[in-house]
Structure 1
Amino acid sequence: MSAGRYSCLLLPLCVSVLAHRQPGAPAASVPAADNSLVWGPGLEANIVLPVRFFYIQAVDGSGKNLTTSPGEKTFEVKIVSPSEPFTRIWIQVLDRQDGSFLVRYRMYATYTDLHIHVLLQDKHVAKSPFILKGPVYHEGCLCPQPVGSVWEAHMRCPQSFAQIDRDLSLYTTVDPDLNAQEIPQRFGQRQSLCHYTVKDNKVYVKTFGEHVGFRIFMDAILLSLTRKVRLPDVEFFVNLGDWPLEKRKPTEKLHPIFSWCGSNNTRDIVMPTYDLTESVLETMGRVSLDMMSVQANTGPPWAEKNATAFWRGRDSRQERLELVKLSRAHPDVIDAAFTNFFFFKHDESLYGPLVKHVSFFDFFKYKYQINIDGTVAAYRLPYLLAGDSVVFKQDSGYYEHFYKELRPWEHYIPVRADLGDLLEKIQWARDHDDEAKTIALAGQRFARSQLMGDSIFCYYFKLFEAYAKLQVTEPKIRKGMELVEQPADDLFPCACHRTTAKEVKDEL
């Protein structure tokens, strides 16, 4: 990962100091400061994200976009606040190896304004310096935009998400009072659930079941959202398990359950997975795999990748056993192996020895990635798409919140559920290399545009907003619910300068 060199005040609160383009690069690939492009949400003060980001496209003196890297240290990025002697901002410039760069930065304090300098050999690039008129709030600042529609406009959220429309179309109304009685009776003894109420933009929760540790992911996104925008009063139940729960037919009485995974045989309301959600919240934090870091670690250029289909994982599904057996029979076509066994008996004569874990970024040394279900949908698909290998996706009854926007043969190569045509599909890709590369790049573009942090926040907000409108009784703080406290921000507290929702209405 191209993290640059850091001049550190208080680790990890660092500012990236990047060297210039390496001497000796061919003249045709030299970017021009005036022609190169800079854009993205990280250049706007009103878009508050855990990690802000923007893009640089290197363009040469003739106006032509570079399509290969001019050198990972070509551009220097500095972020300063004129009113502050020290800016506690960690910056990384990630070389995407295609002539473009992703710049990400995590703020550890709030600033009255920020100046973002993008430099090429000490010359300002495009319209640098970019001035963010403050206050510019950091992730830990409790300062919600009081009007949801204003926040949506700032975030450039889409008008709707098709999956939300599909999920909620089964419910003409939702009765929080009835659900508060019926859902715990129906599911609470056998399943792990969280019962949430958001009231006056504060989060309250009660848990049911034994295994409720995964509520930390839901708590975290709700707290993060309520720091950024005032949520409508809303009451709902979240399934903390892998499998979606609502198996009744639409003609029967359905109970609305929010889940991280959906299926063709259930009626759960689907959210972005806990894995993708955490990676958004903890980018440049405690996670090493996220949608941004993948973009800087896509392996060698397409022509230099290994033309073998690659897979690593555990034994959480019968088809995974078949995949590893297929690999052992055709090692020149498929490299698939288990890293551990948990669900089935490990027969080494059938499945070979366990192998060591491989860095996810090393997956992209291979042209072909196999995505095969685990206990439910394999939650690695967003990251596989974000690379520049082509994904072979098993036909599945399970889906994540974005699956139905993907199109076979455009964003991925489909494979039968029983993997019966996998060898044939890999051979097709080998015989049609240009087409396979085109599919890989289309999948990558989808992930880069639809699965980044701003899109994930928009999805959650639009979901809660649409669901709240279906409620026919008032959401309540029920008996046994506890307040989910916002984390303390004692080190760098912020002052919120926003007007309240009442003041906004008075102005209108």
Structure 2
Amino acid sequence: MGNIPTILSFFVHVLCIIYAAKVDVSKTIVEGPGLVNDANLPVRYVYIHSHDSKGKAISEDLADGLYDLQLESTTGQRVRAWRQVLNLHNGTYIARFRLYDFGGDLKVHIKHQGKHVAKSPYQLKNVYGDECYCPMPLKEWTKALKCPSAFSQIGKDFENFGVIDLDKMVSEGITKFARHHSFCHFVVKKNRIFRQCHGQHTGFKMFMDGALLSITKKTKLPDVEFLINLGDWPLERGPADQIVPLFSWCGSDKTFDIVLPTYDLMQSTLEMLGRVSLDIFSVQANTGPKWEQKIEKGFFRGRDSRQERLDLAEMSVKNPDIVDAAITNYFFFKQNEEKYGKKVKHIGFFDFFKHKYQLNIDGTVAAYRLPYLLTGDALVFKQDSEYYEHFYQRFNPWEHYVPVKHNLSDLLEKIKWAREHDAEAREMQRAATKLAREILTPDQLFCYYAVAMQEYASRQTRPVKVLKSMEEVKHKENNCACHRKKKKASKNEEL
């Protein structure tokens, strides 16, 4: 028995040699925004697509540790960075790094068994860590990120606002929302950020602070003045001729809010390789066993934030061979173990993907876990809902997910269908995963913010105003050197 670990280690070593021999470093492709000079993001990333000697893409699961990522300053400057290479288990890897207190030129080495891959080393100019303040013109930054000129949801949201009367927006917004809700009045002027918040619970202002601080370090936003809803529920219910332009993280079919990527999705992007372990890339490397080996049950874990979640737990008690659903915390409803089963402990999100079918059920509003479920290697069953996030328009029922009635009355039937039509279910899952991995990436999230702010700014009826009652959201001091010449601002400079 004592020799088993040694034997296993030997076989793993042999497998690594076999896998490594299949890769041709000259044919392997490295691509992504991390190789574009001006595409500065909190974390830079590239995709490594393994190819063999015949130039054929390798789609099988290769070994962990197959590629190595190293960073080097071209001027001898110290490079502090978190580096990681993720194995996506399909021949593709994501190499990513987060810089700290670094601004300048960088050499990126991507190697396989000591040999440079593709065109490595890559020479990058004017690369900056996320804390570095070195904004560039918006047009140049969005071009580097290859931002689309428009997003369908932004176009839909702004149909209701031909022009935005800022004075009317502020006065009516305070009248309409301040008594029962929490929101902030933000101004971005000359790339400086100011805000005044209203309401009792304003802690979530930190999420908009974080997004704007990160963006304005990288680019120069147009002058904008807007309101941001700090709660989960969309607020602006009309009437249509009296609506106030209000940004929210969630929209609904019954409201007129202008939707931005959720604070959850943005925070996981801003804190990638930092204070979070769950992000759009980490999921891709932790999608559980192969499709054929996954448990063929509908899976759900979550708190009791909606009646349908309790109904789902009850369904699981009655049909444990089809559904594995349980409540992790009771906040809104009375616990009833006989009816809904025992309260269970939280499990790691990556363990969700041991199951083939993921059940996306609304919480207080849209379930903000959907981006991560779509990115993983499982088929999503999505409850019909009035709520939506910024990307929902891009996904279609029966093409990217299995639609389920709001009251879940057809869920068991739909799961049975998926079991009996595995090839079709797999095709649907692959289509969803492919699209999610293309449009929910950090570059696309930052592009969405940039386009939304441009669209908004183009509709303003007057120059923005910084109120005396506003607080400035300031950038922290850093040790980065910016290559761009910038005017030294006076403390008394007129805004």
TM-score clears 0.5 = yes
1:316-372 superposed Cα distances (whole Å, 9 cap, x missing partner): 001111101111111000000000100011111111111010100000111100000
Counterpart Cα distance in 2 of 1:150 and 1:83: 25
Contact 2:109 2:116 in 1 (8 A): yes
| Root mean square deviation of aligned Cα | 1.5
Give runs of aligned pairs for residues 152-231 of structure 1, distance below 5 A.
152-231=142-221
Q: Secondary structure at the match of 1:222?
A: helix
Deviation at 1:226, TM superposition (A): 0.7
- Given that 2:209 and 2:473 are in contact with CA atoms closer than 8 Å, whether structure 1 keeps it comes out as yes
C-alpha deviation, 1:487, in angstroms: 2.2
In the alignment, structure 1 residue 57 sits paired with structure 2 residue 49? yes
Query: Displacement of 1:27 after TM fit?
Result: 6.6
Distance (Å, rounded) in 1 between the aligned partners of 2:40 and 2:15? 40
Does the 8 Å CA contact 2:103/2:132 hold for their aligned counterparts? no
Distance 1:261 1:486, change over 3 A: same
Matched, 1:377 2:363: no
Match status 1:91 vs 2:83 = yes
Shift of 1:439: 1.3
Q: Which of 450, 464, 471 does residue 482 from structure 1 map onto?
A: 471
**What amino acid is the match of 2:91?**
G
Alignment CA distance shift 1:115-1:28 (3 Å): closer
Q: Does the alignment pair 1:121 with 2:113?
A: yes
Distance in structure 2 (CA, Å) of the matches to 1:471 and 1:283? 34
Shift of 1:440: 1.2
Match of 2:71 in 1: 79
* Deviation for aligned residue 1:129: 1.1
| Partner SS for 1:101 | strand
Measured against aligned partners, the alpha-carbon deviations of 1:8-43 in whole angstroms (never above 9, x if no partner) come to xxxxxxxxxxxxx94335479711111111100111
Distance 1:348 1:187 in 2: 39
Contact kept, 8 Å, 1:81 with 1:111, in 2: the verdict is no
Cα separation, 2, equivalents of 1:187 and 1:120: 57
Give the aligned length. 475
Q: How do 1:10-25 residues align onto structure 2 when only pairs under 5 Å count?
A: 22-25=13-16
Counterparts of 1:27 and 1:459, CA distance in 2:
39
Q: Distance in 2 between matches of 1:235 and 1:481?
A: 12
* CA gap 1:354/1:67 in 2 versus in 1, 3 angstroms: same
Counterpart in the other structure of 2:394:
405
Which of 36, 47, 50 does residue 28 from structure 2 map onto? Answer: 36
Is there any run of 5+ residues in structure 1 with no aligned partner, and where?
A: 1-20, 502-508
AA partner of residue 222 (structure 1): L
- 2:484 paired with 1:498: yes
CA distance in 1 between counterparts of 2:216 and 2:77 reads 30
Give the structure 1 partner of residue 308 of structure 2.
Answer: 319
Q: Structure 2 CA distance, aligned partners of 1:401 and 1:92?
A: 29
Are residues 1:246 and 2:236 paired? yes
Correspondent of 1:138 among 118, 129, 141: 129
- Equivalent position amino acid for 1:259 in 2: S
AA in 2 matched with 1:336 = A
For the residue of structure 2 that corresponds to 1:244, the secondary structure is: coil
Q: Using the alignment, how far apart are the partners of 2:482 and 2:74 within structure 1? A: 20
Indicate if the aligned counterparts of 1:325 and 1:351 stay in contact, CA closer than 8 A.
yes
Q: CA deviation at 1:488?
A: 2.7
Preserved CA contact (<8 Å) 1:22 1:71: no
If the length of structure 1 is used for normalisation, what is the TM-score? 0.91
* 3-state SS, counterpart of residue 105 of structure 2: strand
Q: What's the CA shift string for 1:480-505, capped at 9, x where partnerless?
A: 1110111232xxx112222569xxxx
Letter in 1 for 2:133: L
Structure 2 unmatched runs, 5+: 1-11, 488-495
Q: Does 1:269 align with 2:264?
A: no
Q: Which amino acid aligns with 2:476?
A: P
Matched, 1:359 2:348: yes
Give the match's secondary structure for 2:380.
strand
> Distance in 1 between the 2:19 and 2:214 partners?
46
Which amino acid in the other structure matches residue 24 of structure 1?
L
Paired with 1:61 and 1:495, the residues of 2 have a C-alpha distance of: 43
> What is the one-letter code of the residue matched to 2:452?
L
The one-letter amino acid of 1:199's match is K
For 2:303 and 2:384, locate their aligned partners in 1 and report how far apart those are by CA, in whole Å. 19
Q: Which amino acid aligns with 2:131?
A: G
Segment drifting more, 60-69 vs 427-436: 60-69
